[in-house]
Amino acid sequence: MARGALRIEVTTKDKKELRRMLSGGVQQVRVVLRAVALLQFAKGVSAPKIADMVPLTVPAIRKIGHRYSEDGLERAFYEKQRPGAEAPLEDSQKQRIIAMVCSDPP
């Protein structure tokens, strides 16, 4: 069963911002690809056709569109901060190891 076309309405203000961003300056490649995908959405191009133009998968392009519609331009470009891995040692354990290494040998 085919999915229905994802229609994303990009505001005029956001279109100007996308064009400004793509017109020059140094940007992360990930951000540029997402900006190009959003501009294509603004033209009414479908996610599979955008995937033919931009080296992103169809689900990734759809996710960019959904994030834009729900939370705006910033959220479409940048992912949320992810929690890092837990520290393997607690502070007290680190202090004991440092004290052991720095003390005189037995």
- Which tens digit of pLDDT belongs to each residue from 1-16? 456 677 788 888 988 8
User: Over the stretch 41-79, which tens digit does the pLDDT of each residue have?
Assistant: 889 899 999 999 999 999 999 999 999 989 888 888 888
**pLDDT surpasses 70 at 40:** yes
| pLDDT, average across residues 25-51 | 89
Predicted pLDDT of residue 1: 46
* pTM metric for this prediction: 0.67
Q: How far is residue 41 from each of residues 14, 61, 65, 66, 86, measured CA to CA in Å?
A: 12, 9, 8, 11, 39
